[in-house]
A = this chain, B = another copy of it.
């Protein structure tokens, strides 16, 4: 069950070692997720390779997103958005070391796994 109302800047843990992933909405064909990074990067040699598309928006902090088909990372700062089309391999090269990087990620498409929560929502 996912609560349908909340604040995206609240409940950020200050002492995290790992990135924090929170589903804000799941329904058929869509998943909206908050990701909070605190200086992490993708593991060496790791590439995300997703069957669905993902639209990301950086709400605070900054990050370097590298596509396998581009020579250098794209720097994303507060407010920047970008579409990662399905099957386009990418990785996070770096995230801001001085403040949390808050990402809004909208995963969508027919290839997205079906939600396992029955898509019931609390009002």
The listed residue (B24, B25, B53) touching A27 by CB distance below 8 A is: B53
A7 touches B83 (CB 8 A): no
For the residues of A in contact with B, the DSSP-based class is strand
Which B residues are in CB contact (< 8 Å) with A59?
59
Beta-carbon contacts under 8 Å, A62-82 to B? 74, 77-82
Give this chain's copy count.
2
Would you call B32 and A30 a contact (CB within 8 A)? no
Known contacts being A57-B104, A104-B57, is A79 close to B121, with CB within 8 Å?
A: no
Residue A79 contacts which of B7, B53, B78, B80 (CB distance < 8 angstroms)?
B7
Q: Say whether A40 faces chain B, with CB atoms less than 8 Å apart.
A: no
Q: Which residues of chain B have C-beta atoms less than 8 A from A9's C-beta?
A: 78-79
* A122 nearest CB across to chain B (Å): 10
Query: A residues 25-72 with Cβ under 8 Å of B?
Result: 25, 27, 29-30, 32, 53, 55, 57, 59
* A interface residues, Cβ below 8 angstroms from B: 4-10, 24-25, 27, 29-30, 32, 53, 55, 57, 59, 74, 77-83, 85, 104, 106, 108-109, 121
In the A-B complex, the 6 residue pairs with the closest CB atoms: A4-B83, A9-B79, A7-B79, A8-B79, A30-B108, A5-B82
